[in-house]
Amino acid sequence: MYKDKFSEDVGSFFRSPVREIFKRVDLNSIYSFAGGYPSAETFPLEEIRAAMSEVISGYGGKAFQYGATQGVPELREAVAERCGVPVERVQITSSSQQGIDVCTRVLVDPGDVILTSNPSYLGALQSFRSYRADIRGIAHSDDIDVFRRRYEDMIDAVKAEGKRIKFLYMIPDFQNPSGESLTLEERKMLVELAARHDFLIVEDSPYRELRYEGEHVPTMYSLDPGRVIHLGSFSKIFAPGFRLGWALADPEILDKIYVCKQSLDLCPPVFDQYVAAEFLRSGRLDANLRKSIALYKGKRDLLLALLEKHMPEGVTWTHPEGGLFLFLTLPEGFDAVKFYDKALDAGVAYVAGEFFHPDGSGKNTMRMNFSFMSPERITEGVRLLAGLLRSEIE
C-alpha cells in the first residue's frame, strides 16, 4: 500500500512540463525568453517601503492577524471601484493561479469538458488536468464565421458524446502564450454561445492593463456578469511577490468559492492586501503602471524589430498590442521541444509551444517573453537564438 500512496486521480498531472522547462534554468546566467516574469525594475521599492510603513502605522496588529476569507474590505472595495462592480462581487485570491484552481475545483467533476483556446495558458491546463477535466482546445480564426463554427462543431461533438461542458476558459487580452486578443465581436459571439448552450465562462485577464497600442475592449464579464467569472491579478501591474489577485463573479458562485478557499488557505495574505489597497487608493499603482507600460512597449518594439532583422525565412510571429509574450511559428516539421536542449546548452531559453496546446499540436511553435530581460540582453538573446535556428532549419 505504501507503494501506492499517491492519489490515482492526479496520475498524469504529476509529470510537470513546467519543471522540465525550468529545472536547468538559472535566470541570471542565460538569455531567458522563457518565464512570464515582470521586470524587477518596475517594482517601486521606495514607494513600497513607504506604503508598508503607513500600513503598519495605520492598521497596527490588524495587518498581521487572520483576515476575512473574502479578502480585507479595503482591498475588495478598491478592486470593486477599479472594475466598476459592487463590492459583494469581489473575492480576493492568493494569486490568479489560485483563482483558476478554485474555479475548477468548485465547478468541475472528473470527465467534465472545459473548452479552451488552442493554445492556452499552461498553468491553467495543468490545473484542469489535476481535476481530470476533459480539455478541448479550439483554434482561433480571424474569420468570425469560421471561428464560431469551430465552437459550434465542438459543442455538438461534446453533446453527442453525452458529456457536459462546464466552462470555457479564455484569456481575451494579450493571451498567454500567443499575445493576441479577442475583438469585441468575438467576445460577444462567445458569450452568446455560452448562454445558448448554458455553460459558464472563466475569463482570465492578468495582462489586461498592459496595453501598448489600440483601444481597450470591454471584458467578457461586462457583457454577462451572471455567466462570466473574471480573474484579475496584481502580479503584472504591481508585484508577483505579493501573490494577490481577484475574482469577480455571481454571488452564488462566490459563495462556493468562499467555502472552498476556507479549506485551501483560510484567507489571502493580510499585510500584502493592505499594501496593495494602499497602492491603489493613493494612485501609486496607476503612476507606476504608466511607467511599466512605457518600459514594456519599448521592449516589445525592440523584440519585433530584432526578429524582423535576424530571424531566418519561414519563421513568423504574432504582433501583440500588449502583455508580455509573443508567439513564434517555425517551419512545419520543426520540433521546439527537441530543439530546447540545444538552445539551453547555447545559453538561451524559451517555452516550447506544444505545452500550451491541449490537443498536442503546435510542435513547431515557441513562446517568447519580452518583459523580463534588459534591452541589451534581449538583443543578444535574439541574435543567439536566430543563429541557432538558422543553422537548424536552413
Site for a copy of itself in 177-236 (CB under 8 A): 197-200, 227, 235
Q: What is the DSSP letter of 62?
A: G
Stretch that binds a copy of itself, among 89-97, 171-179, 294-302, 307-315 (CB under 8 A): 89-97
- Determine which residue in the list 76, 89, 136, 166 makes contact with a copy of itself, applying CB under 8 A: 166
- Determine which residue in the list 12, 142, 263, 313 makes contact with a copy of itself, applying CB under 8 A: 263
Stretch that binds a copy of itself, among 41-49, 75-83, 294-302, 318-326 (CB under 8 A): 41-49
Nearest CB to a copy of itself, comparing residues 61 and 214: 61
Q: At a CB cut-off of 8 Å and minimum separation 6, what does 186 contact?
A: 144, 147, 172
Q: Distance (Å, rounded) from C-alpha 183 to C-alpha 73?
A: 34
Q: What is the DSSP letter of 90?
A: E
* Residue of 269, 354, 325, 237 whose CA lies nearest to 98: 269
- Determine which residue in the list 73, 82, 87, 123 makes contact with a copy of itself, applying CB under 8 A: 123
Which residues from 238-257 bind a copy of itself, rule CB under 8 A?
Answer: 239-243, 253, 256
Q: Distance (Å, rounded) from C-alpha 178 to C-alpha 81?
A: 30
Q: Distance (Å, rounded) from C-alpha 86 to C-alpha 17?
A: 39
Residue 82 CB neighbours (<10 A): 15
Answer for the pair 117, 137: CB distance below 8 angstroms, yes or no. yes
394 lies in the binding site for a copy of itself (CB under 8 A):
no
Which residues from 284-303 bind a copy of itself, rule CB under 8 A?
Answer: none
Shortest Cβ distance from residue 308 to a copy of itself (Å)? 30
Which residues from 50-69 bind a copy of itself, rule CB under 8 A?
Answer: 52-53, 56, 60-67
Shortest Cβ distance from residue 391 to a copy of itself (Å)? 33
- Determine which residue in the list 37, 312, 331, 346 makes contact with a copy of itself, applying CB under 8 A: 37
Q: Distance (Å, rounded) from C-alpha 344 to C-alpha 168?
A: 35
- Determine which residue in the list 9, 185, 213, 301 makes contact with a copy of itself, applying CB under 8 A: 9
Answer for the pair 118, 137: CB distance below 8 angstroms, yes or no. yes
